[in-house]
Chains A and B, each alone.
Chain A
């Protein structure tokens, strides 16, 4: 009997200790500066969102959050830095669609295992993308554009900021959904692709890079490619509303990830704080300026979404016969 009670007591004590340790861990973090790795060079939306997040977390948690840019190789260099860091919460990754959902399915050799070496922590924001065409193209609606593309198979072109980027995939998602054959023309980055869209050398592009050009009348937006309309352009219909519900390209997202095997309480704490940082009303106008909106999801939801998107991207790559070579 005594033995049994001792066991119970011991178990309880152990449990208590474990809880206390968890609590202590939760309270103790962070005790030193935290770095948020951005897998792209300074400037651009990912970098800007990372800096906003760093500022928000710093205010909430009282330790400096430092943004470190480690650009290169489609984001795999920066991701690798985080994948190889200790899972103590002091090295975080500003994750996004390109390196985390697209890169793993393109067959590029990566120096890390995208599933095991990273812990999804929080989905923090979603950005709006649009279906834009050159204003000289004789189509006022998405339906008219599809009809035009079908009438002239192989004559129209769509621009992207590079092979395997969101713009590239979104364009192929469109080809698959609408049954069109619009030729992909890759550029080196977002700016030159928008320049050629405005000049009319290419007719179409899907992305968030040309919002300002659209406001200046240089690009005609036919639809928003997100599931919902954007508050700043309430008149622009979604793809489904414009008549193409089969269009399945997921919106561009931004999130926080850590190295593989991060302790659960730490993941939950950072999830909670980062979501609070971005859903704070004073953050809203800054996010809107970046064409983005805050998200509030669990780590599990985030992990499932990444897996689901990898599947979607793989399917469209197969359907559109996209080729990636290492």
Chain B
């Protein structure tokens, strides 16, 4: 307890240095910006900015990237409320009652509710990360290669269990991701695998290349192919103040939304979106007047907005505490760490306390900044929607190319990014989920490495995975997760959640 407070103090000291405050602000600002713009999500943006983080200290890089992620949750709701245009998938639900409120002349109240609920959820989940991570980390301290292998197996199985859509597709994407992850020199023997004689592939395909292609380039192409999103008429802004009745209705919904979002955010494959849908459903079900939902119920804004922000931040827990990314955004954060030679591991809090706690503290500071960025400046953000895509998209593509080229001055990598862009487009059109692919791509090589290292250290004895208690417990969890997937009742729940 005292340790956590002292550590948070250290984190605040790190996060409050001038340069880190600047990168936190920059991240929050960029996040809001791309959150407002439909068609460009936080994942694509983070992928584009990854190469730039080479030139930043690791703490500043992670602070900025995190800011983009939770900043997008704020920005996305602005356009959802004012124009029925969800800037992010996680603010789809906010469109329902947020836009309805705006049409009744209460746009200001809806915006204030969204921002305040998000801020509250952000504060709570920052504390949750601070208190939940150390015990998890302490357990993970005893991890050796066998435990890592078991943990990563669990991570991949969980990615199938909790991803929306048909499990078979998720499994297929995982195996495809594993295959791509195996490209490059074998760690144990140095022998080349799947390189087709290209020396550029000897070190494997970069995380940056894959994520920028699959998310960044593919997203631009999808937007161009799909045409502009349907926009509602832009509602007029009004006073931002909330009435006493508003507060009384929004407050409990915010609390529930925070709890739901945080819970679903911690799960592998979780994140912002699932929580916002779940929270809306819960609010509607427990409301005494469910007919008001869809016509401007303030609970329908407060709950989901709290949930998406709580979910966004809670998904940092498995990444920070165990080194296991639970979704594509966290995979990107891991990528940023690997660029700086920081291996994803449960040792992060001990090996790099300034980075670990600085990042956590910066999240709270960032949420505070976002409150300021979003509420008074909301008019500025809405104007951004006037930027035409014919200017925006070429700029994004150019930026991607420059970014990737600066890393290794390699033209091959630009070609690879383009190839992964096409691959991303194909996958999305086939309704194949990208997250399991990226997770397997990142976890696969680590899993193989740990498997073989565990076998090397045990001098070839495979029972090492069953005789070490933590490894055994994790493998039992794997079996349970598979069993869960086969359970008919769970499959029904999973299907409904997927349908939204």
A residues contacting B by CB (< 8 A) are 41-44, 68-74, 76-77, 80, 106, 111, 154, 157, 162-164, 183, 185-192, 195-196, 198-199, 201-202, 323-326
Contacts and interface: CB of A to CB of B under 8 A. Distances in A.
A284 to B, nearest CB: 24
21 contacts: A42-B407, A43-B340, A68-B409, A70-B408, A70-B410, A72-B200, A73-B203, A77-B200, A111-B199, A157-B456, A157-B457, A162-B187, A163-B188, A183-B456, A186-B187, A189-B343, A190-B341, A192-B343, A195-B351, A199-B143, A201-B145
Contacts, number: 92
A163 B190 contact: yes
Contacts of B191: 325-326
Given A41-B408, A188-B449, A326 B456 contact: no
B269 to A, nearest CB: 25
Q: Nearest 10 pairs between A and B by C-beta?
A: A163-B190, A73-B202, A73-B199, A192-B343, A325-B191, A201-B144, A191-B341, A191-B343, A42-B54, A71-B408
A157 B340 CA distance: 27
B2 interface: no
Contact of A187 (B55, B187, B351): B187
Q: Which of A183, A192, A324, A326 has the most CB of B within 10 A?
A: A192
Interface of B: 54-55, 141, 143-145, 185, 187-192, 199-200, 202-203, 339-343, 345, 347, 351, 407-410, 445, 449, 453, 456-457, 459
Contacts of A183: 456
A43 B55 CA distance: 9
B54 A43 contact: yes
Given A189-B343, A190-B341, A195-B343, A69 B189 contact: no
Nearest to A190: B341
Contacts of B449: 187-188
A73 B188 contact: no
Contacts of B347: 195, 198-199
A43 B341 contact: yes
Contacts of B457: 157, 185, 201-202
Contacts of A70: 408-410
Contacts of B459: 154
A262 to B, nearest CB: 22
Which of B141, B192, B202, B453 has the most chain A CB atoms closer than 10 A to its own CB? B453
Contact of A326 (B192, B345, B409): B192
Contacts of B203: 71-73
A205 to B, nearest CB: 14
A77 B199 contact: yes
A189 B345 CA distance: 14
Nearest to A164: B190
A164 to B, nearest CB: 6
A201 B202 CA distance: 27
Contacts of B341: 43-44, 189-191
Contacts of B408: 41, 69-72
A185 B200 CA distance: 25
A246 to B, nearest CB: 27
Contacts of B410: 70, 72, 77
Contacts of A77: 199-200, 410
A74 B202 contact: yes
A77 B185 CA distance: 14
Contacts of A44: 341
Nearest to A72: B203
Given A157-B457, A201-B144, A195 B345 contact: yes
B375 to A, nearest CB: 39
Name the residue in A111, A157, A163 with the highest tally of chain B Cβ atoms < 10 Å from its Cβ.
Answer: A163
A107 to B, nearest CB: 10
Given A41-B408, A69-B408, A70-B410, A325 B456 contact: no
A188 B189 contact: no
Contacts of A72: 199-200, 202-203, 408, 410
Nearest to A189: B341
Contact of B190 (A68, A154, A324): A324
A278 B389 CA distance: 51
Nearest to A192: B343
Nearest to B191: A325
Contacts of A187: 187, 449, 453
A42 B55 CA distance: 8
Nearest to B413: A72
Nearest to B454: A201
A208 to B, nearest CB: 14
A68 B406 CA distance: 9
B361 to A, nearest CB: 23
A153 B188 CA distance: 21
Contact of B187 (A74, A80, A163): A163
B445 A188 contact: yes
A23 B351 CA distance: 54
B407 A69 contact: yes
Contacts of B188: 163, 186
B199 A325 contact: no
A199 B343 CA distance: 14
